[in-house]
Each structure stands twice: as C-alpha cells, then as structure tokens.
Homo-oligomer: A and B are copies of this chain.
Amino acid sequence: MKAAVLYSGGKDSSFTAVMLKRLGLDVELYTANFGVYDSYIPASKSAKSLGFKHNVLKMDTEILKTTCEKILEDGFPNDGIKYIHEKTVETLASNHDIIADGTRRDDRTPKLNINQIKSLEDRLNVQYINLDSFGHKSVKLITGNLFEISKEKSNKDTSSDFEVEIRTMIDEMGGNSLDIFPEHYQTRVIGYKK
C-alpha cells in the first residue's frame, strides 16, 4: 500500500520514509512548493540518494502569502510555520490513503496534536503517521546510524524547508527575512551510511 511522506530532505522526514519502507509500505516522497522558488531541488537530490520516488506537491501561492503576512505581523515564525504545515498536510491527505511526516515526539511546532490528527483522519479518511514513537535522543541515534548527512550554512539552495519560499516572499514583500530567520546551519541527508 502506498504511503505519501511529506519530505524536506532532512533527517527526520528521511527517517519516516525509511521506517515505513522497511515496514513494507510503498513509499513516495512529496515536497511542497508554492510556486515562488524551486526549493524542492535539494529534497529531490536527497530522495534520489535514498532510492525513493520524489514528487513536487503543488500548493496554492495564497497559502504562502497568508503565512508570510502572519509571520510579519507576529515578528516571529512559529504560528506561520504551524499554519503552512497544517495546510500542506491537509493537501497531501486529500489525495492519499496513508500520509506521513517527520514531526517528532519532542517537537513543538510545526506539529499536529492528537485532536488535529484524529480530526484529519476522520474528515479525510486518511491514515496519518509521524515520529511520535521516538524522543529526540532516539531520533538522533537512529538517524546517525542510518544516514550520511551534509551540514552547510543555510541558504536558498541547500534546503527544501518551508523557510526557503517564506524567506523569498517576505523579501519580495519588503520585509527582511534575516530578522525572522537568523542565519543557521542546515543539515541534509545525502545517502545511507556505508
């Protein structure tokens, strides 16, 4: 049975993908894109390095716009990221029977709580899977054993997180995305550990 995994190329969504594949599901990866920057390219490379089929999940640019407006109004990204993640999960769920993402037990945002998960599953007749089985230490241990990882200064072409298109649009809107997302290091999966 097919499982559609929301995929950024990072350790967590790669963990979800490999776990479900090894449990016998037919996994395909989906990276959201809102049409303002081709930010899915790093994720597509990571997917290829792990042997998964990769797809772009085309999303409505209006959702990105609402996200950026919210972030600029708040002055910090949490609620905006939560909003864009929820909309993306809903979009993926509307076309698949089993969906998954890389949110972990100890994550705060973006993350669906148990009531949101049950509502999503009931409304859209979908099964939703995440990494709630695992605490951050276990995720670190297991992904460290599974994956080769690259670490680079974050920029538009090394990441497929929501952040990339949010930055792009905030800067187009006349905001300064560096005020919202300070420079940081970005990790990306580049293959299985030998």
| Residue ranges of A at the interface with B (Cβ–Cβ < 8 Å) | 1, 18-19, 22-25, 98, 105, 114, 117, 121, 127-135, 137-138, 141-142, 145-146
Cross-chain contact B133 with A131 (CB below 8 angstroms): yes
- By a CB distance below 8 angstroms, the chain B residues around A19 are 19, 22-23, 133
Interface of A is mostly: mixed
- By a CB distance below 8 angstroms, the chain B residues around A132 are 105, 132-133
Name the distance in Å between A111's Cβ and chain B's nearest Cβ: 12
Report Cα–Cα, A105/B117, bound state, in Å. Answer: 10
- By a CB distance below 8 angstroms, the chain B residues around A114 are 105
Cross-chain contact A25 with B142 (CB below 8 angstroms): yes
- By a CB distance below 8 angstroms, the chain B residues around A105 are 114, 117, 132
Cross-chain contact B142 with A24 (CB below 8 angstroms): yes
Cross-chain contact B135 with A117 (CB below 8 angstroms): yes
Contact of A135 among B1, B128, B134 (CB under 8 A): B128
Cross-chain contact A138 with B22 (CB below 8 angstroms): no
Once A19-B23, A22-B23, A23-B146 are accepted as A-B contacts, the answer to whether A127 and B138 lie under 8 Å apart by CB is: yes
Report Cα–Cα, A1/B141, bound state, in Å. Answer: 9
